[in-house]
Amino acid sequence: MSFVRPLAIRAVALIGVLIVVLVLLVISLGATGVSDKLLESVVGEEVRGLRVGLAETIRDPQQLEDTLALRRQDLETSYGLDSPWYRRLPDTVLRVLTLDLGEARTMKSFSGSRKVSDIVLDRLPNSALLLTTSLVITAIIGLGVGVRMATKVGSKTDRLLSYFSAISFAMPAWWVGILMILIFAFKLGVLPAGGMYSTPPSENSFLRFLDLLKHSILPVLTLVLVSVGPYLYAVRTMTMNVAQEDHVMIARAKGMPEGIVARRHILRVAAPPIVTGLILGLTGSLGGSILIETVFNWQGMGRLFFDALSGTPDEGVIVALTFVFTLMYVAARFILEVLYVVLDPRVRYS
């Protein structure tokens, strides 16, 4: 367990990176005036709620307005709106960290709440379902086919798969998504064109789950098509380089079966860079998921980000999503640190 302390130190370092990103984000919000708009939105929502309560006890309209004006002034002082933005820096960082960003202007959560935290947390599982499913499929295909390609370098199959990898890397995600809709939804009519559920959705939980799976086929297929090619070629290249090393030739000279050589002497050594590409590819695919979720009307964080930027920008939602995306990247980096120790016994932190 000698690696526990170094991993803890790296976790603290990554948290420090997250805090630095947050501080830079808050500085940009304050310098551009977005921070003031967020706090004014929070104050406005509290005053509106207070108006409803006071209207039942204060019948005089002028007295009601005077009372609300005093309350607004107290709230603005409490939130620091009467002072420059840089004096509110620590408090604003804490608000972003806890997603305490008030209420959205136009968007609501599935339950009808306007709180930014509720809206973002509602969409998080939907994006996770889409990205993790495509990640698992990409990993299975990439590892299974890529390792086999490395043992047949220069063959016709290897050349065909290399061409496919180049095409997969070059295809825009939004274009592939539209193509999938045209073929499978409009031409063949076998899969829904978008959304997460049929209209109206089924009341039966099992049928509702099957309907969700059916609607997820096309967006998952699109994400796999645009990501599996580069990953497959990367696995092929890394395993091919390892396959030419001396310890692999010695294992083959000893008469070991090719399957054992591939698993123990090639794939095990090439595992760290392969996993690095896979995990960081997951965080990198967040940008692609914005386009995919928009094309397929999938109610995840990507579609939420697009909606928050469209029309009148919803600053609170944009800031919250930026923080969540950064948090996912930091979490992925820490997972990599742990996997390096598990996958490669040569790695020892000191």
Q: With contact defined as beta carbons under 8 Å apart, do 131 and 222 qualify?
A: no
Q: With contact defined as beta carbons under 8 Å apart, do 331 and 340 qualify?
A: no
Residues 34 and 93 in one domain: yes
Residues 73 and 126 in one domain: no
Assess if residue 198 is contained within a domain: yes
Assess if residue 334 is contained within a domain: no
pLDDT at 242: 80
Assess if residue 347 is contained within a domain: no
Residue 39 host element (H or E): helix 34-54
Tokens encoding 49: 């709620």
Assess if residue 29 is contained within a domain: yes
Cis, peptide link before residue 200, omega less than 30° from 0: yes
Residue 319 host element (H or E): helix 315-343
SS3 277: helix
Geometric angle at alpha carbon 188, from 182 and 190, rounded to 5°:
105
Residues 63 and 138 in one domain: no
Cα atoms in the Cβ-side hemisphere of radius 13 Å centred on 215: 21
Residues 128 and 73 in one domain: no
Number of structural domains, the chain? 2
Assess if residue 345 is contained within a domain: no
The amino acid that residue 276 corresponds to is: T
SS3 3: coil
Residues 88 and 124 in one domain: no
Tokens encoding 261: 């050589």
Residues 140 and 288 in one domain: yes
pLDDT tens for each residue of the chain, 350 residues long? 566 777 777 778 888 888 888 788 778 877 777 777 777 777 777 777 777 777 777 777 787 787 888 888 887 777 777 777 777 777 777 777 777 777 777 788 888 888 888 888 888 888 888 888 888 898 888 888 887 777 777 788 888 888 888 888 888 888 999 999 999 999 998 999 888 888 888 888 888 889 999 999 999 999 888 888 888 888 888 888 787 778 778 887 888 887 777 777 777 777 777 887 777 776 666 666 788 888 999 988 888 888 888 766 777 788 888 888 888 888 888 887 777 777 665 555 55
Q: With contact defined as beta carbons under 8 Å apart, do 130 and 194 qualify?
A: no
List the one residue out of 97, 93, 79 whose CA is nearest residue 330. 97
Provide the whole-model pTM. Answer: 0.76
CATH code of 191's domain? 1.10.3720.10
pLDDT at 287: 61
Assess if residue 336 is contained within a domain: no
Residue labelled with tokens 């290399």: 162
Q: With contact defined as beta carbons under 8 Å apart, do 102 and 120 qualify?
A: no
Cα atoms in the Cβ-side hemisphere of radius 13 Å centred on 288: 24
Domain that includes residue 51, residue range: 4-97
CA distance 13 to 208: 43
Assess if residue 319 is contained within a domain: no
Residues 69 and 178 in one domain: no
Hey, what's the torsion of the CAs at 29, 35, 36, 40, to 10 degrees?
150
Assess if residue 335 is contained within a domain: no
Which of 69, 97, 125 corresponds to the end of one domain? Answer: 97
pLDDT at 346: 58
Residues 91 and 120 in one domain: no
CA distances for 323 relative to 15, 19, 20, 23, 115, angstroms: 12, 10, 11, 11, 16
* Residue 103 zone, left/alpha/beta (φ > 0; ψ -120 to 50; rest): beta
Residues 63 and 177 in one domain: no
Phi, psi of 264 (to 5 degrees): -90, -35
Residues 10 and 139 in one domain: no
pLDDT at 312: 65
